[in-house]
């Protein structure tokens, strides 16, 4: 992949809403070239989706509850952890699944409306899967930084307005 | 009734004659207004990388709160030497050819005081950083402007230089990549300048504080050419590349005789640069290049955006090879650079610096810093576009 395409990805990863015209100026390419590059990146599943990082605590009164669950599983012959991971990530409330090294195997991130809803998911859906040996649920209390974005950034520019 | 017993002014003639910086005047105007988007800032919008701050804090915790040697921590000087060798192919001895100063500004001041006698002329390539001429005057010298022009993208042409050399000329101050124009000089172009410098037996003060911020080609220092090391005082610092402006840490490297003379002045006036800042700088040089590269990438993207946006609204703007400034011409508006900057500030609340404050050749231009977020740059360009349309550009 050429340098400009990598640069394009880096910019879009930080901010997916920058207009094509601005991207073209920043990278010294034609608008059509940027469009073509983005289309190719999407087709190749390199760009998977465009999303906003939302601070839901400010947007709605009923906060979402987020939990990270450490899951120990018995890997199955031939398919390893993939099969059980696949079963887990199909649930819509599951936002992310990672295979981990260390004391547990899968890190499952889920979102629900209430703690009770998450408890029900763990008890009824997750723990009942054959390969799952144990779960440990951690509730997130506050988001400080997510996906590289600081939630309460200090925006004050301490520099003087005009300087040498 | 009180009567003054003072019969004379106590100010020195030098202090009286010193002109206040044109930037200062504009700062006073801009700082009284609310909601201004500033392209007038001459410092990075990034904060110092945390690991650098942490190294400095750590030095305090470990009790390194006393003086360092006058020339600066030997460990830091050694790291500076390694950096200059690895990056720009310049060879210096950490023991007696490098001194750590309070910003590049102090290095310039001490260098001029070390080399100038009263009446010596120093060539100052304009447009340039506002402090050069003043520093020459303060050191008893006579600044002589060598104007460059937009037609040659503000590069220093050998013939422009030669025209200004007299018997009194002792040195020339260079700054590439340049503040305010962003202009860089190629290897060949610098070599041509070096030939003239050698021919007339001049010294060079080369302020290469923006060297890391070179976007088109590898930065070349004039100190690198044959016969130039012994007549060049290389000056740089940590402010721009590592986003460390407030740390006030710079350095000078050059022939031992000159550096040792600078050291005498430095030790009588400053003693040494702040110790904790030196530990921060050491960390920056050792492990900070990834931070620099990230910042440079971002600056390059913003430079491209700003230059193309100026061209799109119809103002001539060359693509600068370095620093974080663009220097578009505003001649098409029929305004002087001061009028343009003042009206833009009042009518659209965008602060830029009028080009005339940087000396001859700067008139008809404005300096816009792109050390500002992309969203601010986008909004600033919308406003500048609206402003210039009023003047039928």
Domain layout of chain A by residue ranges? 3-44, 60-142
The two tokens of residue B344 are 């833009």
Q: Which of B241, B285, B302, B300 is nearest to B104 (CA)?
A: B241
Average pLDDT (B285-312) is 97
Contact B190, B161 (CB under 8 A): no
pLDDT at A149 over 90: no
Query: Which architecture, in CATH terms, is A3-44?
Result: Orthogonal Bundle (1.10)
- Calpha distance B307→B354 (Å, rounded): 17
Do A162 and B301 count as a contact with CB atoms less than 8 A apart?
no
Mutation target for B interface from A5, A12, A155, A164: give the one with most B CBs within 10 A.
Answer: A164
* Class of the CATH domain delimited by B50-287: alpha beta
Q: Looking at chain A, which residue has its C-alpha nearest residue B246?
A: A159
Q: Does B18 touch chain A (CB under 8 A)?
A: no
Q: Does A14 touch chain B (CB under 8 A)?
A: no
Contact B203, B169 (CB under 8 A): no
B361 pLDDT tier (thresholds 50, 70, 90): confident
Q: Which residues pair with B146 in a beta bridge?
A: B125
- Sign of the Cα pseudo-torsion (B356, B362, B364, B370, in order): negative
Q: Give the gap in angstroms from C-alpha A156 to the nearest C-alpha of chain B.
A: 11
The two tokens of residue B340 are 């343009």
Q: Which of B390, B340, B392 is nearest to B39 (CA)?
A: B340
Do A162 and B41 count as a contact with CB atoms less than 8 A apart?
yes
The two tokens of residue B342 are 């003042």
DSSP H helical ranges for chain A? 3-14, 20-27, 31-43, 56-59, 82-89, 115-120
Q: Which of B124, B117, B110, B112 is nearest to B179 (CA)?
A: B124
pLDDT per residue as tens digits for the range B20-35: 888 877 788 888 888 8
Q: Looking at chain B, which residue has its C-alpha nearest residue A29?
A: B304
Do A22 and B378 count as a contact with CB atoms less than 8 A apart?
yes
Question: Which chain A residues touch B309 with a CB distance below 8 Å?
Answer: 25
Question: Which chain B residues touch A161 with a CB distance below 8 Å?
Answer: 27, 30-31, 36, 38, 40-41, 351
Q: Give the gap in angstroms from C-alpha A146 to the nearest C-alpha of chain B.
A: 19
- Beta-strand pair A106-112/A94-99: antiparallel
Q: Please tell me which of the candidates B43, B129, B304 has its beta carbon nearest to residue A159.
A: B43
The two tokens of residue B165 are 């050399």
Match 């997750």 to its residue by tokens. A126
Do A28 and B304 count as a contact with CB atoms less than 8 A apart?
yes
Say what the ipTM of the complex is. 0.79
Question: Which chain B residues touch A18 with a CB distance below 8 Å?
Answer: 374
- Calpha distance B6→A122 (Å, rounded): 87
- Calpha distance B124→A122 (Å, rounded): 73
Residue A85 pLDDT: 94
Identify the H or E element spanning B48: none
Q: Give the gap in angstroms from C-alpha B23 to the nearest C-alpha of chain A.
A: 7
Percent of the residues in chain A that have a pLDDT greater than 70, as a whole number: 100
Assign a CATH topology to domain A60-142.
Alpha-Beta Plaits (3.30.70)
Average pLDDT (B201-214) is 98
pLDDT at A164 over 90: no
- Beta-strand pair B142-147/B121-126: parallel
Q: Give the gap in angstroms from C-alpha B284 to the nearest C-alpha of chain A.
A: 21
- Calpha distance B369→B294 (Å, rounded): 18
Average pLDDT (B8-15) is 90
Do B351 and A162 count as a contact with CB atoms less than 8 A apart?
yes
B392 pLDDT tier (thresholds 50, 70, 90): confident
Contact residues, B window 232-291, toward A, CB-based 8 Å cutoff: none
Omega within 30 of 0 (cis) for the link into B180: yes
- Beta-strand pair B366-369/B325-326: antiparallel
Give the other-Cβ count within 10 Å of A3's Cβ: 9
Question: Which chain A residues touch B351 with a CB distance below 8 Å?
Answer: 161-162
pLDDT at B2 over 70: no
Residue B81 pLDDT: 98
**Taking all residues of chain B, what is their mean pLDDT, rounded to a whole number?**
95
- The CA–CA distances, whole Å, from B135 to A55, A144, B145, B161 equal 51, 47, 13, 20
pLDDT at A59 over 90: no
Q: Which of B122, B132, B134, B186 is nearest to B156 (CA)?
A: B186
Q: Does B30 touch chain A (CB under 8 A)?
A: yes
- Beta-strand pair B98-101/B366-369: unpaired
Cα of B359 vs its chain's centroid, Å: 14
- Calpha distance B118→A23 (Å, rounded): 54
- Domain B13-48+289-391 indexed as CATH 3.40.50.10860: no
**Domain layout of chain B by residue ranges:** 13-48+289-391, 50-287
Do B38 and A162 count as a contact with CB atoms less than 8 A apart?
yes
Q: Give the gap in angstroms from C-alpha A135 to the nearest C-alpha of chain B.
A: 36
Residue B1 pLDDT: 60
Residues whose CB is less than 8 angstroms from the CB of residue B158 and which lie 6 or more positions away in sequence, other chains included: B192, B193, B195, B196
CA dihedral B325, B328, B333, B334 (to 10 degrees): 100
Global pTM?
0.89
């Amino acid at each position: 992949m050429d340098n400009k395409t990598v640069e394009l990805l880096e910019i879009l990863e930080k901010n997916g809403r920058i207009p094509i015209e601005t991207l073209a100026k920043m990278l010294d390419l034609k608008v059509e070239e940027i469009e073509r590059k983005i289309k190719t990146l999407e087709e190749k599943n390199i760009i998977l989706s465009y999303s906003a990082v939302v601070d839901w605590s400010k947007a709605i009164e009923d906060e979402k509850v987020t939990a990270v669950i450490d899951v120990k599983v018995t890997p199955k012959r031939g398919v390893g952890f993939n099969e059980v991971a696949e079963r887990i990530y199909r649930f819509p409330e599951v936002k992310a699944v990672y295979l981990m090294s260390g004391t547990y195997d899968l890190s499952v991130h889920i979102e629900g409306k209430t703690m009770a809803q998450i408890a029900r998911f763990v008890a009824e859906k997750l723990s009942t899967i054959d390969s799952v040996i144990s779960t440990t649920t951690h509730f997130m209390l506050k988001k400080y930084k997510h996906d590289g974005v600081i939630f309460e950034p200090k925006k004050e520019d301490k520099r003087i307005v005009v300087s040498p | 009734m009180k009567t003054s017993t003072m019969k004379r002014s106590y100010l020195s003639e030098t202090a009286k004659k010193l002109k206040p910086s044109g930037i200062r005047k504009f700062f006073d105007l801009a700082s009284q207004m609310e909601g201004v988007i500033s392209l007038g800032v001459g410092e990075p919008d990034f904060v110092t990388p945390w690991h650098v701050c942490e190294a400095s804090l750590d030095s305090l915790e470990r009790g390194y709160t006393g003086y360092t040697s006058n020339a600066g921590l030997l460990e830091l000087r050694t790291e500076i030497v390694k950096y200059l060798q690895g990056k720009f192919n310049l060879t210096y001895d950490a023991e007696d050819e490098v001194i750590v100063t309070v910003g590049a500004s102090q290095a310039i001041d001490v260098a001029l005081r070390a080399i100038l006698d009263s009446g010596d002329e120093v060539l100052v390539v304009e447009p340039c950083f506002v402090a050069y001429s003043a520093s020459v005057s303060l050191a008893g010298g006579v600044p002589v402007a060598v104007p460059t022009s937009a037609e040659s993208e503000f590069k220093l042409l050998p013939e422009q230089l030669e025209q200004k050399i007299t018997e009194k000329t002792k040195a020339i101050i260079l700054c590439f990549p340049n503040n305010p124009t962003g202009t860089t000089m190629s290897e060949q172009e610098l070599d041509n300048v070096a030939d003239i410098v050698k021919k007339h037996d001049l010294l060079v003060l080369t302020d290469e504080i923006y060297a890391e911020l070179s976007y088109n080609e590898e930065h070349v220092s004039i100190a690198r050419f044959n016969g130039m090391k012994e007549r060049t005082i290389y000056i740089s610092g940590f402010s721009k590349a590592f986003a460390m402006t407030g740390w006030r840490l710079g350095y000078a490297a050059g022939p031992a005789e000159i550096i040792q003379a600078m050291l005498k002045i430095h030790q009588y006036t400053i003693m040494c640069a702040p110790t904790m800042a030196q530990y921060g700088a050491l960390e920056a040089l050792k492990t900070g290049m990834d931070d620099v590269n990230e910042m440079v990438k971002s600056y390059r993207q913003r430079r491209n955006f700003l230059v193309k946006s100026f061209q799109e609204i119809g103002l001539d703007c060359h693509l600068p090879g370095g620093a974080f400034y663009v220097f578009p011409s505003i001649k098409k508006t029929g305004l002087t650079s001061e009028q343009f900057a003042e009206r833009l500030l009042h009518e659209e609340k965008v602060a830029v610096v009028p080009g005339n404050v940087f000396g001859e050749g700067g008139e008809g231009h404005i300096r816009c810093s792109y050390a500002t977020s992309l969203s601010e740059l986008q909004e600033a360009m919308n406003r500048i576009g609206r402003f210039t349309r009023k003047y039928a550009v």
